């Protein structure tokens, strides 16, 4: 290792990064796997991945002058995050937005590199950028590939972010990955609520709760929402069951807990309205927008039923400006409060007056399913309450 690489690692450590490695500006080892994934339509509605295909499979299109990709890892393990009254949030999204934190750190990193003689045109990437981050990170030895597709590190498990600075200097690549592998484990494949890990290492985004609750804008597919459980933003199931993450150090302080998580609830998410932009500023939770967050909250309320939630869902069903939210509220009510007087007529009239054709069709389905569920509950009540009340 020459002095230039040593300088890179020293600066990374001084700036508080947990992991650092160097990869060449060259196609990532997983380029063919990525193309096969795209060709199979596993990216669902993330059209930007298809549009960026050429740059993703060959970073020389981004840095024609060549050079190196300095890959950095920032750990973020913390205890499970739950909103007051129920509703789970992916741990990565509970605090300050890592994109902002990462961009700020990368700017400082690039300035320090320049001061050390490694300047010139650079390109900084945090998640949203034309780089297949996990594959370059794997090549640079930051961790090992896994059946859940996450890059794993023996100390941090899957709980670390990736980010990169591409610099026009050819440094010696780091290659040795830390020792570890999935071995015979398949806990993530078995635990995934939607069977989204369709084969080891391959996630079908069209089945993944993380995709539907973060990236997708319209209604969540009924077969996915039925299995979402309490997840209101992202999903950590495949990370939580991974034995490699079990002993990761708790770093909750590093990103803090955003007010939209610390002092909020599913009902507050559903009813944020015009306050959304202020309440969710500087949090990754704002990605799906006001309607996406309200939609997620409405669906998650089905796994944390309460009278407060029921009233909020009835208000959303009638008054939310987004058809996607009105429809999600209808689904949630039909699923959990079908036996309540008032819910079925509210669903029927919501379906009758709905102007959005897709929401109208779905609401009619939920009104019908509420009638069936309500009738079932009533007959169960009759069958169980009669003899029991006599004895
Ligand atoms: C699109 C995307 C998604 C999509 C698709 C995910 C997927 N698995 O493809 C959705 C929205 C579903 C998603 C979800 C999540 N994501 Co995401 N996502 C991305 C993004 C933008 C691109 C990923 C991509 O190109 N996927 C296509 C596939 C083919 O590429 P890949 O997964 O990177 O490929 C690796 C694996 O598939 C594996 N692999 C492929 N075939 C095989 C075969 C075998 C046998 C094995 C062992 C491995 C293996 O090796 C490849 C290279 O290392 C990256 C950022 C970036 N610019 O790269 C973040 C990124 C991958 N996401 C990240 C995170 C944190 C998540 C979530 C944990 C968030 C959450 N809690 O809800 C989940 C995890 C879901 C999962 N199990 O992958 C982190 C991962 C950090 C890490 N330590 O791995 C990244 C790197 C963002 C970041 N900068 O930190 N994500
Ligand atoms: S994030 Fe959740 S839904 Fe997606 S692959 Fe992992 S366990 Fe499955
Ligand atoms: S849960 Fe098991 S199979 Fe899945 S990524 Fe972790 S070690 Fe690999």
Residue 378 CB neighbours (<10 A)? 12
Question: Does 23 fall in a domain?
Answer: yes
Ligand 3 pocket check: which of 134, 144, 151, 182 to mutate, most ligand atoms within 8 Å of Cβ?
182
Q: What is the per-residue pLDDT for 381?
A: 56
Question: Does 328 fall in a domain?
Answer: no
Q: Which residue, judged by its Cα, is nearest atom 3 of ligand 2?
A: 208
The residues assigned a catalytic role are 127
Question: Does 209 fall in a domain?
Answer: no
Ligand 2 pocket check: which of 227, 237, 241 to mutate, most ligand atoms within 8 Å of Cβ?
237
Distances (CA, A) of 125 to 99, 142, 162, 207: 9, 16, 9, 27
Q: Which residue, judged by its Cα, is nearest atom 6 of ligand 3?
A: 242
* 45 within 8 A of 69, measured Cβ to Cβ: no
Residue 244 half-sphere exposure toward CB, CA atoms < 13 A:
29
Residue 113 CB neighbours (<10 A)? 22
Ligand closest to the CA atom of residue 201: 1
In 197-295, DSSP assigns E strands to: 197-199, 202-203, 231-233
* pLDDT tens for the 391 residues of the chain, in order: 688 999 999 999 999 999 999 999 999 999 999 999 999 999 999 999 999 999 999 999 999 999 999 999 999 999 999 999 999 999 999 999 999 999 999 999 999 999 999 999 999 999 999 999 999 999 999 999 999 999 999 999 999 999 999 999 999 999 888 999 999 999 999 999 999 999 999 999 999 999 999 999 999 999 999 999 999 999 999 999 999 999 999 999 999 999 999 999 999 999 999 999 999 999 999 999 999 999 999 999 999 999 999 999 999 999 999 999 999 999 999 999 988 889 999 999 999 999 999 999 999 999 999 988 866 766 665 555 443 333 2
Question: Does 54 fall in a domain?
Answer: yes
The pair of structure tokens assigned to 35 is: 């193309």
Question: Does 152 fall in a domain?
Answer: yes
188 pocket-lining for ligand 3 (C-beta < 6 Å): yes
Question: Does 387 fall in a domain?
Answer: no
Q: What is the per-residue pLDDT for 386?
A: 42
Residue 253 CB neighbours (<10 A)? 9
Q: What is the per-residue pLDDT for 136?
A: 98
- Residue ranges around ligand 1 (CB below 6 Å): 30, 33-34, 37, 46, 90, 92, 126-127, 129, 131-135, 138, 145-151, 158, 160-162, 200-203, 205, 208, 210-211, 214-215, 234-236, 238-239
Q: What is the per-residue pLDDT for 388?
A: 38
Q: How many residues does the chain have?
A: 391
Distances (CA, A) of 348 to 13, 87, 376: 60, 27, 18
Q: What is the per-residue pLDDT for 391?
A: 28
* 210 within 8 A of 238, measured Cβ to Cβ: no
In the reported structure, the alpha carbon of residue 379 is separated from the centroid of ligand 2 by a whole-number distance in angstroms of: 37
Question: Does 279 fall in a domain?
Answer: no
Q: What is the per-residue pLDDT for 378?
A: 63
Question: Does 149 fall in a domain?
Answer: yes
What is the Cα–Cα distance from 142 to 158, expressed in whole angstroms? 11
Ligand closest to the CA atom of residue 145: 1
Ligand 3 pocket check: which of 143, 148, 201 to mutate, most ligand atoms within 8 Å of Cβ?
148
Q: What is the per-residue pLDDT for 390?
A: 31
Q: What is the per-residue pLDDT for 389?
A: 34
Q: How many structural domains compose the chain?
A: 1
In the reported structure, the alpha carbon of residue 127 is separated from the centroid of ligand 1 by a whole-number distance in angstroms of: 10
Give the domain range for residue 102. 3-77+97-167
């Amino acid at each position: 290792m020459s002095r230039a690489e040593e300088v890179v690692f020293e600066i990374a450590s001084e700036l508080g990064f947990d992991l650092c490695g160097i990869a060449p500006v060259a196609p990532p080892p997983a380029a063919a796997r990525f193309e096969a994934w795209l060709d199979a339509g596993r990216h669902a509605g993330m059209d930007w991945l298809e549009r960026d295909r050429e740059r993703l499979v060959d970073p020389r299109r981004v840095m024609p002058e060549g050079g190196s990709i300095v890959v950095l890892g920032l750990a973020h393990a913390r205890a499970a995050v739950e909103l007051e009254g129920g509703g789970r949030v992916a741990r990565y999204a509970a605090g300050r937005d890592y994109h902002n934190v990462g961009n700020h750190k990368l700017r400082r990193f690039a300035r320090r590199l320049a001061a050390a003689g490694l300047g010139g045109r650079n390109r900084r990437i945090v998640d949203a950028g034309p780089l297949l981050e996990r594959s370059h990170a794997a090549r640079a030895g930051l961790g090992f590939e896994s059946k859940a597709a996450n890059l794993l590190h023996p100390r941090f498990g899957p709980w670390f972010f990736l980010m990169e600075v591409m610099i026009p200097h050819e440094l010696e690549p780091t290659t040795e990955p830390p020792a570890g592998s999935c071995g015979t484990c398949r806990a993530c494949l078995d635990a995934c609520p939607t069977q989204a890990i369709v084969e080891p290492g391959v996630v079908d985004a069209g089945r993944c709760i993380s995709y539907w609750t973060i990236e997708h804008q319209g209604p969540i597919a009924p077969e996915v929402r039925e299995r979402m459980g309490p997840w209101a933003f992202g999903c950590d199931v495949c990370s939580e069951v991974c034995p490699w993450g079990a002993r990761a150090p708790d770093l909750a302080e590093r990103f803090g807990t955003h007010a939209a998580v610390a002092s909020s609830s599913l009902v507050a998410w559903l009813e944020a309205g015009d306050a959304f932009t202020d309440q969710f500023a500087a949090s990754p939770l704002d990605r799906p927008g006001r309607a996406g967050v309200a939609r997620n909250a409405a669906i998650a309320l089905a796994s944390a039923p309460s009278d407060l939630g029921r009233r909020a869902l009835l208000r959303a069903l009638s008054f939310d400006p987004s058809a996607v939210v009105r429809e999600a509220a209808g689904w949630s009510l039909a699923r959990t409060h079908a036996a309540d007087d008032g819910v079925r007529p509210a669903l029927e009239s919501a379906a009758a007056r709905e102007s959005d054709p897709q929401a109208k069709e779905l609401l009619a389905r939920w009104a019908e399913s509420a009638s069936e569920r309500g009738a079932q509950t009533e007959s169960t009540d009759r069958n169980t309450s009669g003899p029991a009340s006599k004895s």
